[in-house]
């Protein structure tokens, strides 16, 4: 019953009109020839794949889930998942932004970003199978040996094999320093890996002939804690030097989790029983190597919620136009009907616009980040690469935590639009809420993201990167500060931008005296900075829209953009006022509570 | 795996120390002899029932759900539900606050409130079976004929039969004026009722020998809209004049909904196929008669979320003390362990204290309301009855919407404390979130509650009742205004109390010019007033705690209360700053969005 239409027009607006992507890409030699037609065509085809192939499987995936045969340890994915994956491979989609040296198409990340937004809207659980593979590709591409790359990358790029990241164990999630899985060196240079991993997404399935597990484990002489962790490549089937599949390796699915959402993805308990693995990167340097994968994964998780926000919005909007119930407070609007469509009610509109503003703001931020990623990796100028990397580092926890919290707010608001029907699974709204719920948790909980942002990305470098973002804001304010039509968008951003420095300094000063203060302020701080970032992009989107309207463009798209910007600043942005107050309240009201929490 | 301990100490604090309930009850003749021992004993026994009988069935109910046999139209409830209900009846619990004339124990509502909070913590889905029955009892007690009361009330009071409320149809939920179910008068004074009802909680089951449906339907000559709706009593089995069961009536379960939560409750589609019914109350006055039931149900729904907030808190607290992960930012706390328990982290404490503050604030408000209900119904002085009724009317939408929204925030925060394990069904946190989600929707969505509050309960009487609540606040401020120790609790309440009048007048003035303004401000308004009410009760609880501490009482309960009050004012109450701003932003940013919502 749910529906999905790829938001191509808005993606094109952000890519072409807001960020002038093809111009930006000209400075990166390997992407200099990417033109607007190529971008639009890839988006259109990707959208078609999402809407026609994986979206129809979303409800089925939720209803059926995955099943484990305890005798064979094999997992069966929901009906149709395997066939959809075969089509995905056949269409060459896994290769989109991969290195041509290993069979990739070498297109910019920004396209992968948009493809994945649509795939996530269509079916988050299904999308995690290729999504995890892409993460494994990136980690191996960055840290694998020549032999590992030669044997494994072409298969991950083609999608014939998939990948996983195996970090979590029953007693450790956030705190990987506690992990116990062991790796014993063998005479032939390989390792025998033994231990138990849990929560391994796409950890076992029937969609590909081999699965490439990237596993964190400890060498016998490893130091304790997080500095004694190494990364290993552990394939489900061993791979012969000629690339053909060999014996079944000692890594088995011991159970599947019963989860609140993403039922279509196999969240596996993996038993490693002397499994053969090879070292990836340096001994005891497993965490930094895995972080290549995790940073990409964090942006990917924000993108999951962006996708769910968009699809929940589309369905709630359609329902609000069709469902008739009560009359408008100012009198009947649909006089020919026994009641008005519920979209006439202000609060229904508020719920819809909340989702819309978070979807479009999130899309602008996410695309901005991937454009930076393209620069970070392939720009010829080291300084540009370095600055792009710093900005990505600052924005990554915001994409992860702000977009997933917004997804929680938005999908719940959209469910609410459906009234009682929102609670009934067939309508699909519950699934969007349930699927989104894990996004606030995995790849580092949103609290962990906020500590990363405030502690490492802001305070540890004395706000240097934050100041660079502040310059972007100041530049926009300077450009538009005298434009009366822009005042309603510029003023709040300018005001918060000014406050942000003082706010950050205050917290930094308190944290200098007591490091716990960071923990007391970080979550609210991230949300405030998230709004500053969204506010900046919303003001820039309003700027583009106003210029078009002023130039006589009558496309209603631009009026829609202005209205949504206006709503955003009037109804969502003001929560910063409360958040700054609570962030400033100090950590004592949390820590001096031993009796309350006895 | 989840756990539950009835919060008897806090209930006793609210009942005895905060509200001096037995003193209050002395003014109501029928409750004048209720003493503290009776109250405490009922709470203890009720808590035992909840913790030992229905709580162990909560996960089973979620996993199994209800099943319908399409051949017989009979519904089987989850394993153990029927036996637990038999014990409930055997224990005399359904009769607790019912009229002694029909076999009730005639105890004050405040006891029923606390019993139901505990039952809801233990198992919301199960509790809805007796809960709906109690609502049917109240509607029949208020509006039934002598014959109906004689035949049906004793069986509802004993719990041998259960009841339902049948309002919703596929095309109407909020807008009951659209309902189509027909009632044809018969020569014998009965009616034949035909139509389709949906979302009927406890609509069919195997727990009682008969089900008493209270059904809204239209008489043939009824006016259109909500003024042409009548209420009928339609039993599953017809009842002979001697009270024995007769023929099966023409009301059948046509299907069960697949829902996000409350799986253990049978949410039935009911087909009425010329079912025999009798009129309850006056023709075409069905809605007001049903509202007796709905007002009670709205308080009951708030109580469901209160129960879930409490049980989610208890489980998250236990987990946070046991789970070790990472070190405190200021250095190790549990040096003998490889990591610190996560309760050392400020944000984990914030999530826990959020749930605790909302649970304890909600408990105070809910108990206050039921004490007013006891006065409204049985106080000898009409003026007291009237004033109690007005205050209950004002507070009911707050109990319903504020407590259920807080339940959403709190259960999600508690799930988050569990990290990835929160997403795994076996831990039970997901169920609390999912069960709570319907509470924001049914018995009038929270948007409908906010319109009821701002439009009818505040603006329609020129804020008269609100002013009475304001007097309570002013009285407290006067009492404690010079007490320095109380300043941190009194100042925010005093400040918001002052603002509230201006804020309300402003919105009222705008609404006078454009009624849509009510719809643009109502949801935020309700949350602001909710915090004023919570702030008032938190300040009073702090007052009691401070007095005990100053008098030398070393029971850590009072220090805990003060710490939680401090947290509430520092971290939760300040959201009013943002809410007032958005409420004041005006309805144009919602209504002038036709292109955005095209």
Q: Which residues from chain B sit within 8 angstroms of residue A408, using beta carbons?
A: 412
Tell me the per-residue pLDDT of A239-283, one tens digit each, with 9 for 90 and over.
999 999 999 999 999 999 999 999 999 999 999 999 999 999 999
CB distance from B381 to chain A under 8 Å? no
CB distance from A188 to chain B under 8 Å? no
3-state secondary structure labels for all residues of B469-527: HHHHHHHHHHHHCCCHHHHHHHHHHHHHHHHHHHHHHHHHHHHHHCCHHHHHHHHHHHH
| Binary contact (B597, A317; C-beta < 8 A) | yes
Let me know: does B134 contact B94? Beta carbons within 8 Å: yes
| Binary contact (B260, A434; C-beta < 8 A) | yes
**Per-residue pLDDT for A24 more than 80?**
yes
In this complex, the residue of B346, B352, B447 whose CB is nearest that of residue A520 is B346
Per-residue model confidence (pLDDT) at position A294: 83
The conformational region for residue B38 under phi > 0 = left, psi -120 to 50 = alpha, else beta, is alpha
Tell me the C-alpha distance between A204 and A210, whole Å: 10
| Binary contact (A590, B578; C-beta < 8 A) | no
Q: Which of A199, A360, A423, A548 to mutate to test the interface with B (most CBs of B within 10 A)?
A: A423
CA of B232: how far to CAs of A322, A340, B220, in Å? 31, 28, 14
Tell me the per-residue pLDDT of B104-155, one tens digit each, with 9 for 90 and over.
999 999 999 999 999 999 999 999 999 999 999 999 999 999 999 999 999 9
Interface subset of A 284-343, CB within 8 angstroms of B:
317, 320, 324-326, 328-330, 338-339, 343
Per-residue model confidence (pLDDT) at position B295: 84
**Per-residue pLDDT for B292 more than 80?**
no
CB distance from B567 to chain A under 8 Å? yes
CA of B340: how far to CAs of A531, B262, B576, in Å? 33, 36, 35
**Per-residue pLDDT for A292 more than 90?**
no
Average pLDDT over residues B571-579: 98
Let me know: does B447 contact B523? Beta carbons within 8 Å: yes
Task: Note if A443 is an active site residue.
Answer: yes
At A290, the pLDDT band (50, 70, 90 cuts) reads confident
Is the pTM above the cut of 0.95?
yes
Tell me the C-alpha distance between B213 and B234, whole Å: 5
Per-residue model confidence (pLDDT) at position B1: 76
In this complex, the residue of A259, A320, A522 whose CB is nearest that of residue B423 is A259
**Per-residue pLDDT for B284 more than 90?**
yes
Query: Residue B545, Cβ neighbours under 10 Å: how many?
Result: 25
Tell me the per-residue pLDDT of A517-537, one tens digit each, with 9 for 90 and over.
999 999 999 999 999 999 999
| Binary contact (A416, B522; C-beta < 8 A) | no
CB distance from A5 to chain B under 8 Å? no
Interface subset of A 194-223, CB within 8 angstroms of B:
199
Q: Which residues from chain B sit within 8 angstroms of residue A168, using beta carbons?
A: 420
Per-residue model confidence (pLDDT) at position B481: 87
**Which residues have C-beta within 8 Å of that of residue A569, sequence separation ≥ 6?**
A488, A489, A492, A535, A538
Tell me the per-residue pLDDT of B328-377, one tens digit each, with 9 for 90 and over.
999 999 999 999 999 999 999 999 999 999 999 999 999 999 999 999 99
3-state secondary structure labels for all residues of A300-324: HHHHHHHHHHHHHHHHHHHHHHHCE
| Binary contact (B582, A571; C-beta < 8 A) | yes
Per-residue model confidence (pLDDT) at position B195: 98
Kindly list the catalytic residues of B: 443
Per-residue model confidence (pLDDT) at position B598: 96
Interface subset of B 146-165, CB within 8 angstroms of A:
none
Lowest mean pLDDT among A5-9, A210-214, B289-293, B547-551: B289-293
**Per-residue pLDDT for A1 more than 80?**
no
Average pLDDT score, chain A? 97
At B20, the pLDDT band (50, 70, 90 cuts) reads very high
**Per-residue pLDDT for A553 more than 90?**
yes
Per-residue model confidence (pLDDT) at position A291: 83
Q: Please report the number of interchain residue pairs, chain A to chain B, with beta-carbon separation below 8 angstroms.
A: 267
CB distance from A282 to chain B under 8 Å? no
In this complex, the residue of B173, B346, B593 whose CB is nearest that of residue A591 is B346
CB distance from B554 to chain A under 8 Å? no
Per-residue model confidence (pLDDT) at position A510: 97
Sign of the four-CA dihedral A357, A359, A362, A363: negative
CB distance from A590 to chain B under 8 Å? yes
| Binary contact (A345, B447; C-beta < 8 A) | yes
Residue of A nearest to B437 (CA): A423
Tell me the per-residue pLDDT of A101-114, one tens digit each, with 9 for 90 and over.
999 999 999 999 99
Task: Please pick, among A138, A310, A390, A443, the residue that the annotation labels catalytic.
Answer: A443
Q: How far is A260 from chain B (nearest CA, A)?
A: 5
For residue B140, give the H/E element and its range.
Answer: helix B109-143
Average pLDDT over residues A435-448: 98
Structure tokens at A59: 């409800």
- CA atoms within 13 A of residue B281's CA, in its CB half-sphere: 23
Q: Which residues from chain B sit within 8 angstroms of residue A441, using beta carbons?
A: 416, 419-420, 422-423
Per-residue model confidence (pLDDT) at position A263: 98
CB distance from A483 to chain B under 8 Å? no
In this complex, the residue of B177, B346, B442 whose CB is nearest that of residue A420 is B442
CB distance from B354 to chain A under 8 Å? no
CA of B528: how far to CAs of A487, B50, B225, B490, B523, in Å? 29, 33, 33, 16, 9
Tell me the per-residue pLDDT of B239-271, one tens digit each, with 9 for 90 and over.
999 999 999 999 999 999 999 999 999 999 999
Per-residue model confidence (pLDDT) at position A10: 98
At B291, the pLDDT band (50, 70, 90 cuts) reads confident
CB distance from A174 to chain B under 8 Å? yes
Average pLDDT over residues A129-139: 95
Average pLDDT over residues A572-596: 98
Residue of B nearest to A581 (CA): B574
Tell me the per-residue pLDDT of A565-578, one tens digit each, with 9 for 90 and over.
999 999 999 999 99
Tell me the C-alpha distance between B446 and B451, whole Å: 9
In the beta sheet, which residues pair with residue A230?
Answer: A217
| Binary contact (A597, B317; C-beta < 8 A) | yes
Tell me the per-residue pLDDT of A185-237, one tens digit each, with 9 for 90 and over.
999 999 999 999 999 999 999 999 999 999 999 999 999 999 999 999 999 99
The percentage of chain B sitting over the pLDDT mark of 70, rounded to a whole number, equals 100
CB distance from B523 to chain A under 8 Å? yes
| Binary contact (B440, A416; C-beta < 8 A) | yes
- CA atoms within 13 A of residue B576's CA, in its CB half-sphere: 25
Average pLDDT over residues A130-155: 96
DSSP symbols for A496-546: HHHHHHHHHHHHHHHHHH-THHHHHHHHHHHHHHHHHHHHHHHHHHHHHHH
> For B53, which DSSP code?
I
Q: How far is A321 from chain B (nearest CA, A)?
A: 9
The percentage of chain A sitting over the pLDDT mark of 70, rounded to a whole number, equals 100
Average pLDDT over residues A407-428: 98
**Per-residue pLDDT for A295 more than 90?**
no
């Amino acid at each position: 019953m749910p529906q999905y239409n790829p938001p191509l027009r808005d993606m094109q607006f952000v890519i072409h009109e807001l960020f002038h992507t093809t111009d930006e890409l000209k400075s990166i030699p390997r992407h200099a020839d990417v033109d607007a037609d190529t971008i639009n065509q890839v988006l259109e085809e990707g959208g078609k794949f999402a809407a026609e192939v994986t979206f129809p499987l979303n409800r089925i995936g939720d209803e059926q889930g995955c099943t484990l045969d305890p005798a064979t340890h094999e997992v069966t994915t929901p009906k149709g998942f395997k066939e959809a994956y075969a089509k995905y491979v056949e269409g060459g989609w896994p290769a989109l932004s991969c290195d041509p040296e290993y069979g990739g198409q070498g297109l910019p990340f920004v396209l992968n970003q948009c493809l994945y937004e649509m795939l996530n809207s269509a079916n988050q659980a299904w999308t995690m199978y290729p999504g995890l593979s892409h993460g494994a590709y990136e980690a191996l591409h960055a840290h694998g040996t020549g032999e590992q790359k030669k044997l494994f990358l072409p298969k991950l790029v083609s999608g014939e094999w998939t990948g996983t990241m195996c970090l979590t164990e029953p007693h450790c999630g956030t705190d990987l320093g506690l992990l116990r899985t062991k790796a014993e060196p063998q005479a032939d240079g390989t390792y025998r890996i033994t231990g138990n991993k849990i929560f391994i997404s796409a950890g076992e399935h029937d969609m590909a002939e081999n699965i490439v597990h990237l596993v964190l484990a400890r060498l016998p002489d490893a130091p304790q804690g997080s500095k004694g962790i190494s990364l290993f490549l552990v394939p489900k089937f061993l791979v012969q030097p000629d690339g053909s599949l060999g014996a079944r390796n000692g890594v088995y699915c011991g159970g599947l989790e019963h989860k609140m959402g993403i039922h279509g993805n196999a969240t596996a308990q993996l038993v490693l029983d002397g499994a053969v693995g090879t070292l990836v990167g340096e001994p005891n340097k497993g965490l930094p190597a895995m972080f290549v994968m995790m940073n990409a994964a964090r942006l990917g998780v924000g993108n999951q919620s962006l996708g769910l926000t968009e699809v929940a919005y589309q369905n709630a909007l359609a329902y609000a136009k069709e469902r008739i119930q009560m009359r408008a407070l100012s009198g009947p609007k649909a006089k020919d009907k026994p009641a008005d469509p519920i979209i006439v009610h202000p609060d229904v509109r508020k719920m819809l616009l909340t989702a819309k503003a978070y979807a479009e703001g999130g899309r602008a931020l996410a695309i901005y980040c991937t454009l930076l990623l393209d620069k970070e990796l392939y720009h010829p100028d080291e300084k540009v690469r370095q600055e792009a990397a710093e900005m990505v580092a600052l924005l990554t926890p915001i994409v992860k935590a702000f977009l997933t919290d917004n997804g929680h707010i938005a999908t719940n608001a959209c469910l609410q639009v459906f009234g009682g029907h929102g609670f009934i699974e067939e309508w699909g709204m519950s699934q969007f809420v349930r699927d989104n719920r894990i996004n606030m948790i995995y790849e580092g909980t949103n609290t962990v993201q906020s500590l990363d942002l405030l502690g490492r990305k802001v305070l540890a470098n004395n706000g240097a990167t934050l100041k660079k973002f502040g310059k972007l804001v100041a530049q926009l304010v300077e450009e538009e500060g005298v434009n009366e039509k822009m005042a309603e968008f510029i003023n709040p951003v300018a005001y918060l931008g000014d406050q942000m420095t003082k706010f950050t300094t205050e917290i930094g000063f308190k944290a200098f005296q007591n490091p716990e203060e960071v923990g007391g302020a970080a979550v609210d701080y991230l949300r405030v900075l998230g709004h500053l970032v969204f506010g900046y992009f919303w003001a820039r989107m309003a700027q583009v829209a106003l210029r078009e309207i002023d130039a006589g463009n009558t496309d209603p798209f631009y009026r829609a953009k202005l209205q949504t910007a206006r709503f955003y600043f009037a109804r969502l942005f003001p929560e910063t006022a409360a958040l700054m107050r609570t962030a400033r309240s100090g950590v004592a009201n949390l820590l001096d509570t031993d009796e309350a929490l006895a």
